[in-house]
Amino acid sequence: MKQTLIGGTRENCAVAGTEYSSVYAGYGWGTSAASRDQIVTTPGTLRKLKVKLSAAPSAGDWHKFAIALNGVAQSLAVTISNTDTSGEDLVNEVAVVAGDTICIVHTTASAAVASTVMWNIEFEGTNTAEVLLLSCGLDGHYSWTVAHPNCGYWPAGETEPRYWILFPSPGTIKNLYVKQASAPGGTKTVTWTVRKNLVNTTVAVAITGANKTGNSGANSFTVAAGDVVTLKMAAVSGTVAPGLVNIGLTFVADTDGDIPVASGSGGTFSASAATKIGFAENTPTMTPLALPVSDWQRCDVFTLSDFYVKVTTAPGAGKQWVITIQKNGVDTALTVTISGAAVSGNYTASSVDFVDGDTVSIVMTPSGTPASTYFGYGAIMRVAAAGAKCYGLHAGAMAEMLS
């Protein structure tokens, strides 16, 4: 089964040195691979890296973007030079197994023009109907005993619903992998537990003493459309802070071909004006951008459908939020309105096609000054088989599948 991981960042890439970003979602640029690594949880192959810049490097200059495996740059790479603004590598591949870490590594000519960057890459899993749920770079502290999300980049927080992600399709979640920068120390233990609808599941990892890694073994749990998932960390006083923590999960679709893009806003949005985020952006430190603004996450060929949204606080009487998936900066039919005392909604009536090079984003539009809230959202991505036409829609991140 094939899955497209979509990333991109509103931050300009550097014009000197080496920097890193996460493959899925693309949380900013960091100075180390560890800060942006994402853990592979099921075996497969990475291929078809495609990259687009907002500005050309300039004559004689270049930007290079490569997949790094366990901190080492691989041959799967794209170099964009001179007046070009895009490139792709359709030849090289990288085989991965459970426990490997991956990220994007960027190098550049010293005089290259700064640019925002968007990319996508294909992951083909070895096992039927299995796709990756990727997280990265959590800066964990054991004094925090609240939830962390399971997809994208998020720091710890004080309110569990702030960090939930919403699933748009049924399936099974398994294979929790955790990698900490620091061990708990002595006889101390830190426990990471996946939660469904704010209740613990059996998918958990306990890391003790001098250990820094672990996985949840054979345990699993099922989700239905509309369920929310979080990740909780617990440790006793005196445990050494873990530093950067990388986390990954596997999703097994009930319907082969349905790939969930499950996400959450992390931050709150303006209650007086429409604002935009990347569909697979996944960062609580982001500032939603006022319209008009260009998109910064790139698509491949797929459809999006079954758009689900849930808020932590109802808008209030006579107030509402309208949440819309945009394609190339234009509203699509994938729109959910949450009004009054409601806290959730969905749109399942139709789908929207995306093609290679399209962009995708989410716009939140308030009416009547609704109550401040966090959002969880998700949509199903489906990709047509090679040679087939694609009829439909899906897209923070994102994952896509070819059946």
The strand pairing partners of 46, in sequence order, are 94, 123
Q: Check pLDDT > 90 for residue 249.
A: yes
Tell me, what amino acid is at 184? P
Q: Contact, 106 vs 19, CB < 8 A?
A: yes
Tell me, what amino acid is at 120? N
Cα-Cα end-to-end distance for the chain: 5
Tokens 């096609």 locate to 353
> Per-residue pLDDT tens for 18-32?
999 989 887 788 888
The band of 403, judged by pLDDT with boundaries at 50, 70 and 90, is very low
Q: Rounded to an integer, what distance in angstroms lies between the CA atom of residue 385 and that of residue 244? A: 38
Q: Which residue from 287, 288, 231 is spatially nearest to 262, judged by alpha carbons?
A: 231
Q: Check pLDDT > 80 for residue 370.
A: yes
- DSSP structure string for 266-284: -S---SSS-EEEETT---T
Q: Check pLDDT > 60 for residue 4.
A: yes
Pick 402 or 256 by higher pLDDT.
256
Q: Rounded to an integer, what distance in angstroms lies between the CA atom of residue 213 and that of residue 334? A: 40
pLDDT, residue 140, reads 55
pLDDT, residue 352, reads 96
Query: Domains in the chain, please, with CATH?
Result: 2-126 (2.60.120.40), 133-256 (2.60.120), 260-382 (2.60.120)
Tell me, what amino acid is at 11? E
pLDDT, residue 23, reads 92
Q: How far is CA 314 from CA 203, 269, 277, in A?
A: 31, 14, 21
Please tell me the least confidently modeled range out of 47-56, 269-278, 327-336: 269-278
| Contacts of 217 by beta carbon, 8 Å cutoff, 6+ apart | none
Q: Check pLDDT > 80 for residue 116.
A: yes
Phi/psi-derived region of residue 392, left when phi > 0, alpha when psi is between -120 and 50, beta in every other case: left
pLDDT, residue 390, reads 31
- For residues 331-347, average pLDDT: 97
pLDDT, residue 48, reads 96
Q: Rounded to an integer, what distance in angstroms lies between the CA atom of residue 54 and that of residue 52? A: 7
Q: Quote helix, strand, coil % in the chain, to nearest 5.
A: 0, 55, 45
249 Cα distance to chain centroid: 12
Angle at 88 between CA 82 and CA 351, to 5 degrees: 125
- For residues 115-119, average pLDDT: 91
Q: Contact, 385 vs 349, CB < 8 A?
A: no
Rg of the chain (C-alpha set): 20
